[in-house]
Amino acid sequence: MDNIEIINVFTEKDKKFNRLMVERALMDEQKVQGAERRGGKMPMPEQMGTGLYQERNYDFTSEIINDFRRKWGILQ
Amino acid sequence: MIQAECYSDDYQTMLKKNCADNIEQFGYQFEKIRVLYENFGFIYPEECNTNYRDSWFHYRKLYKKKDIESISNEKYGLEEHLLRAAKDAQINFLQQVGQLLEVWYHNDTLLECELSNENTYQGILERITEKNWVANVWELSEQNEELFSNVCVYYYRTKLNSDDLKQKLQELLHGLKNLILDLRLGGVNIYRPVDNIQYFRECVSVYNDICASLEEKEVIYLVSATGVIRKNCGK
């Protein structure tokens, strides 16, 4: 393992700058990030907030619900 | 009652020693790959640490189990977790670098530069004094992300971009993607490298190639800043 040589073109200052850039890019990404790949919790989008199921806007268009009702004969 | 078949004490000791050696070897590999992550400022994936931790759970169970089947299960479980920890770290690193390099390879279609402030960009570029010109531009643009991003794209297009660079980026991206495929397919192949760190060697070799060729072309300093630049100059 010791004979594996890693070329280092970055100074300590460069590495700090690189980290800063990666973190800045991630800050915005995390706001819109969905579920983690595995084992992670699924964060609720910010606009959902807390509240009752009925009060939440799930962004389902009423057309989908109407189609569903028509298909299965569910009356209003 | 049928008594479960057991390994001899000596053989069990040897298995435990082999497993301990594997854990130790992963530690050395971790030290090396951490350097790659730190150089680019990337975040080391959490899953790799949990896989490493889980390998210890299997190691601990080796001391509780006695029958051949249970010991074999723990041994393979340990090896599998270590293998996944190492592979995930390598693939994640290669994917991150690949995604960032692709932005510059396809910069014509992915990035756009606001040219109305060209004089300001040139003014900043004339004041660059440091080798890491990207960090220098960040200071000179007073940490204004939009200005910084536009200056970087402007400089890349006017000074760095060339057919030669595009060809090099293509070669590097092909190398990265081939290695990712090898790593992924390795899991379903019967072939297993005799040397446990063969893929890691190849990973470092790709990294060294990227650093050596892109440092010469001044593009290496752009890699970690690509996310911020794309956020501000993305089409």
- The ipTM estimated for the assembled molecules is 0.89
Contact A22 B28 (CB under 8 A): no
Of A8, A15, A21, the CB nearest to B225: A21
pLDDT per position in chain A (76 positions), as tens? 668 899 989 999 999 999 999 999 988 766 545 444 444 444 444 444 444 444 445 555 566 666 767 777 766 5
B203, B97 in Cβ contact below 8 A?
no
Identify the burial level of B114 via C-beta atoms within 10 angstroms of its C-beta, where 0-12 means exposed, 13-18 middle and 19 or more buried.
middle
Here the tokens at position A43 are: 């964060």
Contact A24 B220 (CB under 8 A): no
- The pLDDT tens digits of the residues spanning B128-186 come to 999 999 999 999 999 999 999 999 999 999 999 999 999 999 999 999 999 999 888 87
**Nearest C-alpha of chain A: how many angstroms from B42?**
7
Q: CA B156, CA B158: separation in Å to the nearest integer?
A: 6
Sign (positive/negative) of CA torsion B103, B222, B94, A43?
negative
Predicted structure pTM score:
0.80
